[in-house]
Amino acid sequence: MISTKHIISDLSDVPREWVFENYLNLKEKLTGQDVKILSAFNSKDKVPSMCIYTDTISGYYKFKDFSSGIQGDSIELVKALYNMPTRANAVNKILSDYEDFIANNTFFEKREFKIHDKFKVVDHEIRHWNTIDQQYWTRFKIGSRLLEHYNVSPLQYFTMEKKDIDGTIILFKFERPYTYGYFRNDGSLYKVYMPKNSDKKFIKVQNYVQGLDQISYERNYLIITSSLKDLMVFQKLKIVNAECIAPDSENTMISETTINKLSKSYKSIIVLFDNDEPGIKAAERYKHKYNFSYVVLPMEKDLSDSIEKHGVDKVRGILLPLLKQAI
């Protein structure tokens, strides 16, 4: 049975200005203006040295603390304030705290911002596979057939565009190795993946449940993994009567409409997310909302890393009994 309790399932449900106002105890409401405050990271700060501003690329608020040198987006703010090891930890805290906020308050009011448009992918060019690409994907036992089946292609470049507040069109062209496009069966691009990019590894182009185009709806069991890469890796385990999908990310809940349709087609749906605190908390969200069982693979952080380090046979030998217990 699906819970009727309101669940904040995606960071897009959380106003970024709420994050700054809540965790920095701001007295001034953020509506697009820049704000300077005393450093949140340096108690000796006497002159306001922390700037909160709207990023011209994303349209979201960011911060830069000149006293400590710490800077970034709302996630980075929470990560730094609470000395968290990963951004995923910070995302889970934000989601949880905002759930508590709306449980005890009315919803955060929607505000009119000065900066509206965001960068979006408007163009791309597919290139041929090369040796570097093959070396990267074969680390996870993912070959050309799987990549083709799930519509993964290397990109020569992709272009992003936004309209500035004065109407000026701004274009950025990105051309770098280790850049891959994830496509739907109809040929539309839904995500760009840059595994070697230290700043941002994914750019979402459209909402899409990964693997949904490929499932047959004829197996007994459906596994929800944390990523398309883990989804593809799962195929190498050759676990019969099971197929996979993956949400946009662990912190994005698959819609009730989609889940209801899937639940009618499979005997059991099991969540297999990352073996870390954010992954377990995300799996617990699925259990709470949809009553799905979840499995934690006690090896590396995720299924892909486990396959890379320990090999297919060892991972299968550990994972299969766990899945049988969860059914």
The pTM of the full predicted model, rounded to 2 decimals, is 0.68
Assess whether pLDDT exceeds 80 at residue 13.
no
| Helix (H/G/I), strand (E/B), else coil: 243 | strand
Residue 195: inside a domain: yes
Q: Give the mean pLDDT of 49-58.
A: 80
Residue 1: inside a domain: no
Residue 3: inside a domain: no
| Residue 154 sits in the same domain as residue 60 | no
Assess whether pLDDT exceeds 80 at residue 9.
no
Q: Do residues 154 and 180 make contact, with C-beta atoms less than 8 angstroms apart?
A: yes
Strand 120-126 relative to strand 152-163, pairing: antiparallel
pLDDT higher at 167 or 60: 60
Half-sphere exposure of 256 (CA within 13 A, CB side): 11
**Containing domain of residue 159, as a range?**
120-204
- Measured CA to CA, the distance from residue 14 to residue 35 in angstroms comes to 20
Among 69, 104, 139, where does a domain finish? 104
Residue 213: inside a domain: no
Q: What is the pLDDT of residue 30?
A: 86
Kindly report the number of other CB atoms within 10 A of residue 67's CB atom: 18
Residue 58: inside a domain: yes
Q: What is the pLDDT of residue 167?
A: 67
| Residue 26 sits in the same domain as residue 92 | yes
Q: Give the mean pLDDT of 2-25.
A: 73
Q: What is the pLDDT of residue 242?
A: 92
Among 104, 139, 161, where does a domain finish? 104
Q: For position 312, which CATH number holds?
A: 3.40.1360.10
Mean pLDDT rounded to a whole number for the chain: 87
Count of residues making up the chain: 327
Q: What is the pLDDT of residue 56?
A: 63
- Measured CA to CA, the distance from residue 38 to residue 26 in angstroms comes to 11
Q: Give the mean pLDDT of 28-33.
A: 82
| Residue 318 sits in the same domain as residue 233 | yes
Q: What is the pLDDT of residue 198?
A: 72
Lowest mean pLDDT, pick from 114-118, 247-251, 264-268, 310-314:
114-118
Condensed to tens digits (0 to 9), the pLDDT of residues 254-280 reads 988 999 999 999 999 999 999 988 788
Give the position of tokens 């539309």. Answer: 188
| Residue 100 sits in the same domain as residue 125 | no
Q: Can you state the percent helix, strand and coil of the chain, rounding each to 5? A: 30, 20, 45
Residue 111: inside a domain: no
Residue 78: inside a domain: yes
Assess whether pLDDT exceeds 70 at residue 294.
yes
Q: What is the pLDDT of residue 53?
A: 87
| Residue 317 sits in the same domain as residue 233 | yes
**Token output for 270:** 């099991």
Condensed to tens digits (0 to 9), the pLDDT of residues 99-135 reads 888 877 765 565 554 544 567 889 999 999 999 999 9
Among 169, 204, 239, where does a domain finish? 204
Residue 240: inside a domain: yes
Strand residues in the chain grouped as ranges (E): 35-37, 50-54, 61-65, 71-73, 120-126, 152-163, 169-174, 180-183, 189-193, 202-204, 221-225, 242-245, 268-272, 293-294
Those residues whose C-beta lies under 8 Å from the C-beta of residue 75, and which sit 6 or more positions away, are 11, 87, 90, 91, 94
Assess whether pLDDT exceeds 60 at residue 1.
no
Residue 16: which pLDDT band, with cuts at 50, 70 and 90?
confident
- Measured CA to CA, the distance from residue 102 to residue 15 in angstroms comes to 12
| Helix (H/G/I), strand (E/B), else coil: 33 | coil
Assess whether pLDDT exceeds 90 at residue 156.
yes
Query: Over pLDDT 70: what percentage of the chain?
Result: 90
Residue 2: which pLDDT band, with cuts at 50, 70 and 90?
very low
Q: Give the mean pLDDT of 233-244.
A: 91
Condensed to tens digits (0 to 9), the pLDDT of residues 204-226 reads 899 899 999 999 999 999 999 99
195-201's contacts with Cβ under 8 Å and 24+ in sequence apart are: 195/136
| Residue 275 sits in the same domain as residue 242 | yes
Q: How many domains does the chain have?
A: 3
